[in-house]
């Protein structure tokens, strides 16, 4: 199930933790609910690999055990995030982005990562996978939608030991029906530290301000009525 919560306090989970806003909030959500929480981060050859380095800092600050798995999706190609020959789209504002499959879509990325997370979790007796997917005001990625999450959950249970009577695996996407600003408000209300969460697709810790991810992040913090803690931290670091 995507939305059901029930009693999770005695369960173990793994959080797909990229280090961005959504997965950082999902990690807090999991820590409030599960007895044992692990963070799983993927170095998949993304242009913005700085998120892996900062995700390690964020996990360490929370005291959450983290594993980084490497998988080279650059070999697949087809995305501005993994192929340097494909231009990263730039915009003046979020209204310019428009509908349709964006150039930053990595073919079946979340399906690949969820499959790997399922294998990793099964090997460790973990039955719950938590992810920060949302669809209300994010790019048109096909692999963040509720029907995709449900399909991947069915696939995991058909292709793991669950098919032979072991406990079924569940994929939790608690924010899938929320706006990004709502996710941020929830996170701030629950003490989430966003100062090490990076979103920029351009590859730097400092936001470029013109990629889709930067623009959506800026709009979300504005709608949430809160300053961006990453910007505040970077500003403090530059002071003499």
Q: Where are the domains of the chain?
A: 12-238
* 108: pLDDT strictly greater than 80: yes
Q: Which pLDDT band holds residue 113 (cuts at 50, 70, 90)? A: very high
* For range 183-203, the mean pLDDT: 97
Residues whose CB falls within 8 Å of the CB of residue 61, separated by 6 or more in sequence, listed in order = 193, 196
Helix (H, G, I), strand (E, B) or coil at 61: helix
pLDDT for 6 equals 54
pTM of the predicted model as reported, rounded to 2 decimal places = 0.93
pLDDT for 138 equals 76
Q: In the 8-state DSSP scheme, what is residue 66?
A: E
For 148-160, write each residue's pLDDT tens digit.
999 999 999 999 9
Tell me how far apart the 2 most distant CA atoms of the chain are, in Å: 62
State how far the Cα of 171 lies from the Cα of 209, in Å rounded to an integer. Answer: 32
Range with lowest mean pLDDT among 65-69, 100-104, 187-191: 100-104
CATH C-level class of 12-238:
alpha beta
pLDDT for 98 equals 82
Helix (H, G, I), strand (E, B) or coil at 213: helix
Which runs of E-coded beta strand occur in 72-132?
Answer: 128-130
For 34-67, write each residue's pLDDT tens digit.
999 999 999 999 999 999 999 999 999 999 999 9
Q: In the 8-state DSSP scheme, what is residue 83?
A: -
């Amino acid at each position: 199930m995507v939305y059901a919560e029930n009693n999770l306090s005695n369960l173990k989970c793994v959080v797909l933790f990229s280090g961005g806003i959504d997965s950082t909030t999902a990690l807090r959500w999991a820590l409030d609910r599960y007895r044992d929480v692990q963070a799983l981060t993927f170095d998949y050859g993304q242009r913005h690999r700085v998120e892996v380095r900062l995700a390690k800092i964020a996990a360490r600050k929370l005291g959450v055990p983290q594993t980084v798995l490497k998988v080279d999706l650059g070999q697949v190609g087809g995305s501005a995030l993994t192929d340097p020959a494909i231009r990263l789209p730039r915009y003046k504002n979020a209204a310019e982005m428009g509908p349709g499959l964006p150039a930053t879509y990595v073919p079946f990325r979340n399906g690949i990562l969820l499959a790997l997370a399922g294998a990793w979790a099964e090997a460790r007796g973990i039955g719950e996978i938590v992810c920060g997917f949302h669809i209300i005001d994010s790019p048109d990625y096909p692999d963040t939608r509720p029907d995709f999450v449900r399909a991947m959950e069915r696939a995991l249970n058909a292709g793991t030991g669950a098919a032979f009577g072991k406990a079924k695996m569940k994929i939790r996407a608690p924010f899938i029906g929320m706006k990004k600003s709502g996710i941020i408000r929830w996170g701030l209300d629950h003490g989430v530290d966003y100062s090490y969460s990076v979103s920029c697709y351009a590859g730097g810790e400092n936001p470029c301000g013109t990629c889709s991810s930067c623009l959506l992040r800026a709009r979300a913090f504005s709608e949430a009525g809160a300053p961006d803690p990453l910007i505040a931290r970077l500003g403090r670091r530059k002071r003499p």
